[in-house]
Amino acid sequence: MHQDIERILLDEQEIQTIVARLGQQITEDYRGKELLVVGVLTGGVFFTADLVRAIQLPCTLDFVGVSSYRNTTESGELVMTKDLTLPVAGKDVLVVEDIVDTGRTLRRLMELFQRRGAASVKLCALLDKPAARKTDITADYVGKQVANEFLVGYGLDYAQQYRNLPVIGVLKPEIYDTKP
């Protein structure tokens, strides 16, 4: 275990079990539809890559970059860092994210895809943290509901660190809590 991790929330096997379950559910729900999977960079890249391999039907894949943290733990202004390269008009869009916290960023992103003419827009999140929610948004597919703790690993980061951990763990508070 990494020295900055207080405890492991999900190990590698638990993550893969969740991914397989979600992939099977999405496969069943989108059979016969034109699915466009949109991974949210950068945190969602690990989950998105594993999830599309677990979806057993044709789909297209694109990524969007959005940010609202800027090396802090508080969600702020939404910044689009990379737009889609594929059109969403007429497609069934599945937004894939590592975690739903406040929901502000994802709500704006999903509304954008709706304005661009997507046939449908749904959300798949590996983790859902309802205690942190600041807006009305519900993920259509959820891997695991989690408590309001600072999580890192498997794409989740603090100040761009810890993304490459193969597990998801609770970050020790002394790492991110720099208040005197």
Question: From CA 56, how far away is CA 138, in angstroms rounded?
Answer: 24
Q: From the candidates 101, 136, 157, 177, which is the catalytic residue?
A: 101
Residue 4 is among the residues annotated as catalytic for this protein:
no
What b/e string do you get for 11-43 counting C-beta neighbours within 10 Å, with b at 16 or more? Answer: eeeebeebbeebbeebeeebeeeebbbbbbebb
Is the CB of residue 41 less than 8 Å from the CB of residue 69? no
Q: Please, which residues bridge with residue 170 across strands?
A: 7, 151
* CB-side neighbour CA atoms (13 Å) of 172: 8
What b/e string do you get for 48-57 counting C-beta neighbours within 10 Å, with b at 16 or more? Answer: bebbbebbee
Six-digit token pair at 71?
């090396």
Active site (catalytic) residues: 101
